[in-house]
Amino acid sequence: MPISPTRRSLLAASMAAVAGLALPGLAGAAHSPLRLVPLDDDLALVEGAGAPVVVAVSGRDLLLVDGGLAARSGDLLRLLAQHYPGAQVRFLVNTHWHWDRSGANEALAGQGARLIAHENTRLWLGTEVRSTLDARVYPPRSARALPTQTFFDGVQGLDFGGQRLEYALLPQAHTDGDLSVYFPRQNLLVAGDVASGSGYPVLDTSTNGWIGGMVAALTTLMARCDAQTRVIGATGTVLRKADLLAQQDLCFAVLTRIGQSYYKGETWAQFQASAPTREFDAARGDPAQFLRAAYEGAWNHVNEIRRVTR
Ligand SMILES: [Zn+2]
């Protein structure tokens, strides 16, 4: 469907509105020391790399879920060498393509790590991305940064540390290549930027994130959780199933209101004036970026909104 002038101008306004903002973790990655926080005997979280880095240990083998920014990859390797002398990163799983997650791909692949991701993550890393999220053009990454083990659908298994880890696609939520990683023995679920924690979720519509996909992804994540499951989300804070449910309640409410507004033929201004996040703002902050992305991304799914919110 050709984009209408109204939508075109709205997109342009959106680009301008978010100019200066950055993908979470891409800006403000000051060179403060990285910090390694134990999550379990054989599991840890690295903070300060631009995005949470989860480290699993098995003897002298390491598995990382996300690697942080490229600018921090040297510090990350030094930190790992200090905490795990003689160990080598065998696997790096990217939860999605964003550079705060995939920035260490070159460095770790260069040291022999196998890069695992969803196929769409490989495709986005291999092409130019014009991001409406932070009004920035991301050029293709080098061949070395591209994941070498990808999948399209279904739950995948990976043997590491005497157990079978599970990783699975969360279709079209934060991006169209999000995956989660589950560590059964530690009952820990890594959810990337799909689980936002305390703030408003981020929807990268330029690589096909959308709010209805996020509702579905949260259902998938919650099905993997019991009350004790620890969930590592966007900021690295340990979340619980109840946090995922609260985020889903928010997304479902806003999606329902977007649908009602579309079907009444309202404009963006009328929708915005209805304060569609009114009961959530006190706890979650400024909804502007989330609302705009949710509204624009839903244009591509107008018929699906009726199904998702039924
Ligand atoms: Zn992201």
- What residue spans define the domains of the chain? 22-253
Quote the pLDDT of residue 191.
Answer: 98
**Other beta carbons within 10 Å of 39:** 17
The rounded Å distance from CA 86 to ligand 1 centre is 31
In three-state secondary structure terms, 10 is helix
Tell how far CA 43 is from the center of its chain: 20
Q: Is the pLDDT assigned to residue 21 strictly greater than 70? A: no
The rounded Å distance from CA 106 to ligand 1 centre is 18
The rounded Å distance from CA 18 to ligand 1 centre is 16
The rounded Å distance from CA 233 to ligand 1 centre is 10
Distance CA 89, CA 62 (A): 4
CATH 3.40.1010.20 fits 22-253, yes or no: no
Quote the pLDDT of residue 4.
Answer: 39
The rounded Å distance from CA 51 to ligand 1 centre is 9
Q: Is the pLDDT assigned to residue 6 strictly greater than 90? A: no
The rounded Å distance from CA 288 to ligand 1 centre is 18
- Top pLDDT among 51 and 4 is at 51
- Top pLDDT among 9 and 50 is at 50
The predicted model scores a pTM of: 0.90
Q: Is the pLDDT assigned to residue 289 strictly greater than 50? A: yes
The rounded Å distance from CA 93 to ligand 1 centre is 14
Mean pLDDT of 185-201: 97
Q: Is the pLDDT assigned to residue 24 strictly greater than 60? A: no
Rounded to 5 degrees, φ, ψ at 150 are -125, 170
Quote the pLDDT of residue 23.
Answer: 53
The rounded Å distance from CA 94 to ligand 1 centre is 10
Mean pLDDT of 191-213: 96
Confidence label for 20 from pLDDT (cuts 50, 70 and 90): very low
Say how many residues make up the chain: 310
The rounded Å distance from CA 263 to ligand 1 centre is 30
Per-residue pLDDT tens digits for 148-162: 999 999 899 999 999
Confidence label for 2 from pLDDT (cuts 50, 70 and 90): very low
Quote the pLDDT of residue 308.
Answer: 78
